[in-house]
Amino acid sequence: MKRPFTGFPPRLRRLIPAFILVGLLALFLSGCDTDTPQNTFDTKGEVAKKQADIFFLAMWPAIAVMILVLGGLVVIMLRFRETDPQHIPPQVHGNTRLELAWTIAPAILLLAIGIPMVATIYDLGREPSEDAFRVDVIAQRFSWEFQYPEYTDEDGTPLSVFDQEGFHIPAGREVAFYLESVDVIHSFWLPKLGGKLDIVPGQTRVLWLRADEPGSFSGQCAEFCGLNHADMRMTVIAQPQAELDAWAAEMLQ
Amino acid sequence: MAQVATNDHMETSTGIDNKKLLMWLFLASDCLFFGSFIAAYLLYRGRSLVGPYPADLYDIPFTSVSAFVLLMSSVTMVLALAAVQRGNIRNLRIWLFATAILGTLFIAGQAYEFTEFYHEGLTLSTNLFGTTFFVLTGFHGAHVTLGVFILLSLFIVSLRGGIQQKDSHTIELAGLYWHFVDIVWIVIFTLVYLIQP
Amino acid sequence: MASIAAPKRSPLSEALKGVRHAASDYGSIWSWIATVDHKRIGVLYGVSAFIFFVVGGIEALLLRVQLSQPDANILDPDAFNRLFTMHGTTMVFLVIMPMSSAFFNLMVPLMIGARDVAFPRLNAFSYWTFLAGAIFLNASFFTGDILNGELGAPDGGWFGYAPLNLPEFTGGHGMDFWMLGLQMFGIASLAGGFNFIVTILNMRAPGMTLFRMPVFVWMTLVTSFLVIFAMPVIAVALFELTFDRLFEANFFSAEAGGNPLLWQHMFWLFGHPEVYILILPAFGIISEILPTFSRKPLFGYAFVVFSGVAIGFMSWGVWVHHMYTTGLGTVANSAFGVTTILIAVPTGVKIFNWMGTLWGGSIRFRAPLMFAVGTVAMFTIGGLSGVMHSMVPSDFQQQDSYFVVAHFHYVLFGGAIFALFGGIYYWFPKFTGKLMNEPLGHLNFWLMLLGFNLTFFPMHVSGLLGMPRRIYTYNGEMGWDLWNLMSSVGAFFIAASVLVFLVNFFYSLRRGKESGPDPWDARTLEWSIPSPPPEYNFKEIPTVNSRDHFWSTKYHEDETGHVVPILAGGAVETAEPEPEPAEDDAHGHGIHLPSPSYMPLIASIGFPVVATGLIYDYALVPVGFALILIGFFGWAMEPATEEE
């Protein structure tokens, strides 16, 4: 039998997977570093920080396993490539102890990262605190409306704000977003402050977030809601309570 | 089971006839089908925003009678199978036909019930009850109708001499389907009609 | 459906005899239309799936062109939404599932030593219903004003979330085509699922116990069970949607008090087993390729089989991980988070066992092996990002972002599609008698691997930088442009690799080297018969003595413990190409082949007629049902095998 065609010079070929792996990892990690408006690693609040911590808790073991498996494959492919077409290797059918080991070890590793995960679910899944600043968010195709029950005009109607006027929240104080949709499912997402929560029509969802410092935060609808889903964006400005009160007073004029 | 090698000219690896295995798999799959509809009904029970509500409409004595009719059809189905296994083709015809008639009676009862509900103001789009009730019981009715169709086909074939003692497995398959549809109705009758929140 | 023993000579069967005669002329187009031969149906499935792979790929290229730079204007949002809906639906239901079905059809009977599947006509019905649904779904493109650039395809996403799937939000008929088309794929898959379970359980050759079956057959069995239990759930969801859309029912309407999340629960209760329906056949394929090309048995057969079964069971308990952000609460999220983490265990077992198979082998770098190893590597990456998704708190950031898109393409493209390509390279010689070209195969592989990683790896980054899925454009300030440009360039490398494959395929079909019955020195039964296999597969049904029975007829251990070839006697059923046995010869062996039949096709055509009637004109509905009934009746009445 003819020796199989190998397609690429052997020296280059054996390095290709390594190049790809290293190159992609470098790119991946550099991507996490950039300062872009919706970077989930550029965390500006407690919720986003804890969620990013859980991400890294899963990411580092994942990268370790990836290097183990992909590196292992490259080593195996090089070491056990066919040299003599007539050679038939020993017919090994398995090794129960080894197989049990690689069943149990990942299970332990996974449960180990599962415990802090569950703890964080309960930590972040709590009800908003008593003194949280309440904002009612009304989602509709394809725009957002914020209502502020804390700021009312003389009739008792809460201050209502649409995208073009800019959304404001207090900095350094927990904000409880009461989410409602008038049509289809939307998802409220301010990546630098925390993960998203879907807004199901007919049901009210509560999401609490906190901006540690004043700043401007970009967000957008994360659940496909129809034609102009991509345009359902928002910018939320966090500012000290006093400035917020002044802004609200001006808006109510 | 009695007949291992059938008209497929071969022994199967498990000893179960291919068609019988197919029927069991189909019925297992169909359980998930009805299970999903029943789950939707139970999820939406008591959550209709406007009437009429189940308590306004259900005529339990009437539906009990039609449920009894369907139960009896399972008995006649068993008798039909017993007849063909003994080679008594005359009785097979009688019992097949009786089963089909009882099934038709059940369908007629359902048609009457649907009409009554409709006149009381319940349609598919009235409320959640109307939506889930009609679709669930309607799909069950469609299963019964298909069953009646199969039974009548078998009856006609048997009149023309197409079913002999050796073909009893065909009757057995129809019977499996028929009993399944019957059992599903017992579940629906209990969960939908009898147990009220 | 119960079959009915027909009276010997009904006028109907006499009349149909003439029609059937045309179908018996092997080689005519009618013989393909009426075929019930599992190999031909497999080929039909494979070719159709590949055509739709190209269609879905072109859709993907259009999407990538639009996203290659910020604020691009190549597609309007309407076209973009319809194209991504069709891309997802096509790749899941019209490509990976039928491509897997192609391999089930081609391989399972050969691997278990059977002459055909248990129900050959049901098999044909499965294929035609699939094709009817596929054509029906794609026909929806033309219901819009296509000359003015308005497509008519569905626009609610392949997941069709309620209440966006209701007519007040997705007008036109696109979603009607989607829900009714999907219903047809469901019927086709169910028919196939029933058929393969019965075939595998009942049609095994003597001695082929369950634990001597090739792993591919095991994975087919597990997949088929998942199909028959998952498909009814989506069928019910689709029926409910049908009643909502066409008859004003209230299943998913919040205004009537309904809960739109009902749809998501049903969709994902189906959808997660569906994920394994897509990937388990791929696992089966590489579990055949790796042992053959490392010349070793599969490492830890029992672990691989049981982990596959475990995945099948566990896949029913993880669906809420698609719904972490819908607000089901901490208890549900914690419980499903843990089950989702744990489903990685049996998956990991498989990866390590595949590495154990390669370890200590004598690895031949042929195209099938390249794709199989590529599958292991790429699926590992996808599996690990899957574990990252299972972590509920961080998934709140990743859900519906491009990170998810990266993840499932690593699983479904890097996993399933790579393995399916490997399967084509591996089994092509069995069905054509020709070898595929190796240099082109390697070029195909490396281009695809490069293009695939260039397309999908950057999506991890764009997702983590906060880019949501399903947006038709984005702003230049978001910092996503570089990553999207990379993805778009990569997509064209993938397209190039598919072109190389097509060139290789057609070139090899005409000019490929003769393969002989066993070109890879393989281990399973299909290689013991001539290539291409005769219509009846096995002249004598083999008796199986061990796992890798065919290998044991070729090699044994000598006194020193070395594995050496058994020199005497031809292991292969035909050492030299044998002249095609005449029909009489086949009958001499008591072989009764199932007769060709048009009935499955007639029944299948009924479904799109019913569906078109539901959308446009109820008068067509009874016509469609009549076709279905005629098909089934004719089917029940005609004899199953040729009369002698």
**Distance, CA of C114 to chain centre:** 22
Query: What's the pLDDT at A30?
Result: 67
Which of B13, B43, B161 is the closest to C201 by Cβ? B13
Taking the CB of residue C97, how many other CB atoms lie within 10 A of it?
25
A and B make contact (3+ CB pairs below 8 Å) = no
Catalogue the E-assigned strands of C250-321. none
Which of B29, B37, B139 is the closest to C190 by Cβ? B29
Q: Is C507 on the interface with A (CB under 8 A)?
A: no
Weakest-pLDDT range from B7-21, C100-114, C321-335, C605-619: B7-21
CA distance C517 to C435: 11
Tens digit of pLDDT for each residue in C397-416? 999 999 999 999 999 999 99
What are the b/e assignments for C365-386, b being 16+ CB within 10 Å? bbbbbbbbbbbbbbbbbbbbbb
Q: Which of A32, A74, A84, A118 to mutate to test the interface with C (most CBs of C within 10 A)?
A: A118
Tens digit of pLDDT for each residue in C447-466? 999 999 999 999 999 999 99
Residue C429's pLDDT band (cuts 50, 70, 90): very high
How far apart are the CA of C103 and the nearest CA of chain A, in angstroms?
26
Q: Residue A140 in 3-state DSSP? A: strand
Which of A80, A124, A195 is the closest to C359 by Cβ? A80
Query: What's the pLDDT at C172?
Result: 87
Q: Is C592 on the interface with B (CB under 8 A)?
A: yes
Does residue A107 contact residue C313 with C-beta atoms inside 8 Å? no
Does residue C539 contact residue C588 with C-beta atoms inside 8 Å? no
**Stated pTM of the model:** 0.92
How far apart are the CA of A209 and the nearest CA of chain C, in angstroms?
13
Which of C190, C208, C258 is the closest to B128 by Cβ? C258
Query: What's the pLDDT at A5?
Result: 42
Question: Which chains reach chain B with 3 or more Cβ–Cβ distances below 8 angstroms?
Answer: C
pLDDT at A21 over 80: no
Does residue C531 contact residue C516 with C-beta atoms inside 8 Å? yes
What number is the ipTM of this complex?
Answer: 0.93
What are the b/e assignments for C440-476, b being 16+ CB within 10 Å? bbbbbbbbbbbbbbbbbbbbbbbbbbbbbbbbbbbbe
Contacting residues for A152 by C-beta, under 8 A, at least 6 apart? A158, A159, A252
Structure tokens at B80: 């039909």
Tens digit of pLDDT for each residue in C565-592? 886 544 455 444 444 444 444 444 566 7
Closest-CA residue to C398 (of C385, C384, C415, C411): C385
Share of chain C above pLDDT 90, in %: 80
Closest-CA residue to C209 (of C627, C574, C544): C544
CA distance C170 to C167: 5
Does residue C376 contact residue C333 with C-beta atoms inside 8 Å? no
What are the b/e assignments for C103-112, b being 16+ CB within 10 Å? bbbbbbbbbb
Residue C51's pLDDT band (cuts 50, 70, 90): very high
Structure tokens at A196: 């998203």
Taking the CB of residue C599, how many other CB atoms lie within 10 A of it?
22
Query: What's the pLDDT at B97?
Result: 96
CA distance C279 to C312: 11
pLDDT at C8 over 70: no
Query: What's the pLDDT at C560?
Result: 80
C1 versus A207: the higher-pLDDT residue is A207
pLDDT at C614 over 80: yes
Overall average pLDDT of the B43-63 stretch: 90
Collect all residues of chain B within an 8 Å Cβ-Cβ radius of residue C195: 22
Strand A205-210: give its sheet, edge to edge.
A158-162, A143-152, A133-140, A174-181, A205-210
How far apart are the CA of B61 and the nearest CA of chain C, in angstroms?
28
Tens digit of pLDDT for each residue in B114-123? 999 999 999 9
Taking the CB of residue C606, how many other CB atoms lie within 10 A of it?
21
Does residue A192 contact residue A43 with C-beta atoms inside 8 Å? yes
CA distance C625 to B150: 15
Query: What's the pLDDT at A52?
Result: 95
Contacting residues for A63 by C-beta, under 8 A, at least 6 apart? A25, C384
CA distance C483 to C466: 12
Tens digit of pLDDT for each residue in A216-245? 999 999 999 999 999 999 999 999 999 999
